[in-house]
Amino acid sequence: MADMIEEEIKVVKKKKKKKQPVNQLGALDDSNYYSIIKNWQKGIMRVNLYLIIMMLGVEIAFMIALDATGEISVPIPQYIPRYILRPSLINFVVFALSSLAFRTDKVRNGLKSMVPLVCLTVILANMIIVHYTFPAIYMTIIVPLFISTIYGDVRISRALFFVLMGTYAVTMICIVTTPYAVLPHAFVYNAIIGFIALPLSYLVVRSIVSYEKQKEKLVVDQTLVNRRLQKEMLYDGLTGVLNHTGMFQYLEEKIKDHVAGDQLRMAILDIDYFKNVNDDFGHEAGNRVLVKLGELLNKQSGEDVHVARYGGEEFAMIFTNLSVSESMKVLKRLHKEFSEQTYEGIDRKITFSAGLADYKEGDSSTAFFERADKTLYKAKNDGRNRIIIAA
């Protein structure tokens, strides 16, 4: 867990250095989010196709059933083009154009987001024109508006609302001007109800989107607070590396997942004569030394190297998937770089001592740490400014 958090913090630091692009919904670019939305849009396009095919099948079934019972309103030669061929042709053409617009890069993302819903709008309008004698079917025109709430963007819902109002108006005009249309007695009332339902639905959709936005903000804020608290709990505030708690948490996870033959070792580092630095130059000067070692440790850290401040002037390096020689190479490079540093207000060379120990099967995290710590003290007793490998 700690290594995952450390990687997340590195990503956050990188993002702070570079302004993030804004997506069509006004949020920071997120490839996972885009993938979810794109798959959802593809799903709506599939639903549109299934709806077209289903409507075609239903019309054919109705024709057969009505013809068999003698209840068909017009002769078959007129029924087929009026109720089957023309509506289906319009639907398939609209679907083909929508699919083309959805796939092309020439259409802006904002417009592309609306393509599946506009396609659905035209299909529903076509269905209303064909079956205008069924008042309940008029209300299907509000369906795309409610589906648009998935975007969580009032701009998209508002644009779709105007598209729906225009489409519904054209639909009513097409019904009224159809030469063979026999309008139901309550047609005008049904049409007006549709015009009223659309604005009311839009207000409801706006309320839903606003609520979801507020809820999302609360979740994001709480997540940021939790991450900050988690960072404070697991990371050292001065040097930015894992602290005592973070180190042992990471170490216990590695020991839990350890398999015989895996590479796992630890080095404990201690700054030589650090008390003298604090006594002679002050604690601020000592802090500058600690911060510098933290920076150098972070430079060495990566997928196979994790670093921590155990306490005071003691630091730790945990090596995974690295041999003894590779681990020593990292330690020696760090040792050389640290010894070459100069500090404002400090007129002496500062070094560290280190002890490197391998993990032994069955070790607890404490036993593992203590063996590396004992090796460190051997390095200090042998004269400091050196790295020793446990026997």
- Sign of the CA dihedral 144, 150, 151, 153? positive
Amino acid letter, residue 364: S
Portions of the chain given CATH number 3.30.70.270: 244-389
How is residue 41 written in tokens?
């849009």
Phi and psi angles of residue 59, each rounded to the nearest 5 degrees, phi first:
-60, -40
169: DSSP letter: H
DSSP letter string over 92-153?
Answer: HHHHHHHHHHHH-SSS-HHHHHHHHHHHHHHHHHHHHHHTTT-GGGGGGGGHHHHHGGGG--
* C-alpha dist (Å) from residue 75 to 70, 112, 126, 147, 159: 10, 42, 21, 39, 42
Domain 244-389 CATH assignment equals 3.30.1360.200: no
How many beta carbons lie within 10 A of that of residue 360, not counting itself? Answer: 11
Per-residue pLDDT of the chain (391 residues), as tens digits, is 444 434 444 443 444 344 443 333 333 445 676 788 888 888 999 999 999 999 999 989 988 998 888 888 788 888 898 889 999 999 999 999 999 988 887 777 777 888 999 999 999 999 999 888 888 899 999 999 999 998 888 899 999 999 999 999 999 999 998 877 788 888 899 899 999 999 999 999 999 989 888 888 888 888 777 777 776 688 888 998 999 999 999 999 999 988 877 899 999 999 999 999 999 999 999 999 999 999 999 999 888 999 999 889 999 999 999 999 999 999 999 999 999 999 998 999 999 999 999 999 889 999 999 999 999 999 999 999 999 999 7
